[in-house]
Amino acid sequence: MRCTALLVLAPALLANAFNVVVSNDDGWAEQNVRTLVTTLNGAGFSTVLSSPAENQSGTGSSDEEPETVGSDGCQFGSCPPGSPAVGFNATDNKLNYVNSYPVTSIKYGIQTLAPKFFGGKPDIAVTGPNVGSNLGLATLFSGTVGAATEAVKEGIPGIAFSGASGTPTAWNARTPSYSTVYAQLATQFTTAVLNAGPKPYLASGIYLNVNFPDSSSSSCSRASDFKFVLSRINTAIPIFTGKDVVTCGNGGRLPTESKVVGTSGCYVSVSVGKASSKGDASAAEQQVVLNRLGGVFSCLP
């Protein structure tokens, strides 16, 4: 059903020509992000990739002026030693590297590449899918989350995608099945966010943290196997933590991301976070997302 929904939405994307800046923290030549770019393009989006020249996992919101590429060259031999501080693929100038951090990369994508290719700001920024989950406190250190929250600070809606399966894989290696599944799910979810419009698509100061569970088992091997569940990033502290949005008969307390992805049945966690703190948004802000995307979400069993 979910795969069918994606196909049905594709014509609308072609008509609207949504513009997307894509980034990550695993590096511009990593398979997950390249597969996402290909899948987004295939669904009718116009994309530009702006990612670190090297794996910059765990660098959070670090930001530094790009430097000339060192003696080891770019990740997976994707550019030679001494290459410029910023550069692009020889056969596709929309695939760009920035020899710095994820935050620096997304800023370059929004401020420099988007005006060049789109004639203005992108409609949305998506990061990942990260190789490995970014759950709970990990969001504070994740470069994938750091890039998404930086986009929000730049006035662009941001979604961070992460997946439990896989290891860093070169762009020119055989595409792992999990990369394909995660890219399809990220494209489906991004489509839903944009088609729920109107702009600004997400409330000011808000980002979405999306985590895909393991995709190695036969029961979770296709995009249609997965269901999205509204979650919270951090474990609630009794008395001190305010109530969440009421949904699925939860009494005002959403399940944590870890609980969602750890539940048998291929559940994807979607948390509404504050870009300023990377922590959970308020119940009112969660409600706005639920109102817009209510048809996307399922309940845990």
pLDDT tens digits for range 168-189: 999 999 999 999 999 999 999 9
What is the domain extent for residue 10? 2-296
pLDDT band at 224 (very low <50, low <70, confident <90, very high): very high
Q: Report how far apart, in Å, the C-alpha atoms of 151 and of each of 110, 160, 211, 261 are.
A: 8, 10, 19, 25
Q: What is the CATH number of the domain that holds 267?
A: 3.40.1210.10
Whether residue 135 lies inside any domain: the answer is yes
Token pair of 42 as six digits: 């295939």
Find the mean pLDDT for residues 118-126. 98
Mean pLDDT of all residues belonging to the chain: 94
Q: Report how far apart, in Å, the C-alpha atoms of 173 and of each of 32, 54, 238, 299 are.
A: 11, 17, 48, 37
The set of residues, in sequence order, having a beta carbon less than 8 Å from that of 239 and lying 6+ positions away, is none
In angstroms, the first-to-last Cα distance of the chain is 19
- Tally the residues of the chain: 301
Report which of 134, 133, 131 is spatially closest to residue 169, judged by C-alpha positions: 131
Q: Report how far apart, in Å, the C-alpha atoms of 18 and of each of 48, 154, 197, 246 are.
A: 11, 18, 12, 32
pLDDT of residue 218: 85
The set of residues, in sequence order, having a beta carbon less than 8 Å from that of 235 and lying 6+ positions away, is 136, 256
Whether residue 237 lies inside any domain: the answer is yes
Report which of 54, 29, 49, 26 is spatially closest to residue 170, judged by C-alpha positions: 29
E-assigned strands of the chain?
19-23, 46-52, 86-89, 92-98, 124-131, 158-163, 206-212, 227-231, 267-274
Whether residue 119 lies inside any domain: the answer is yes
Q: Are 257 and 228 in contact (CB under 8 A)?
A: no
Find the mean pLDDT for residues 123-136. 98
The DSSP 8-state label assigned to residue 77 in this structure reads G
Provide the whole-model pTM.
0.94
The DSSP 8-state label assigned to residue 281 in this structure reads P
Number of domains present in the structure of the chain:
1
Whether residue 301 lies inside any domain: the answer is no
Residue 10, pLDDT above cutoff 70: no
pLDDT of residue 216: 85
Residue 264, pLDDT above cutoff 60: yes
Whether residue 218 lies inside any domain: the answer is yes
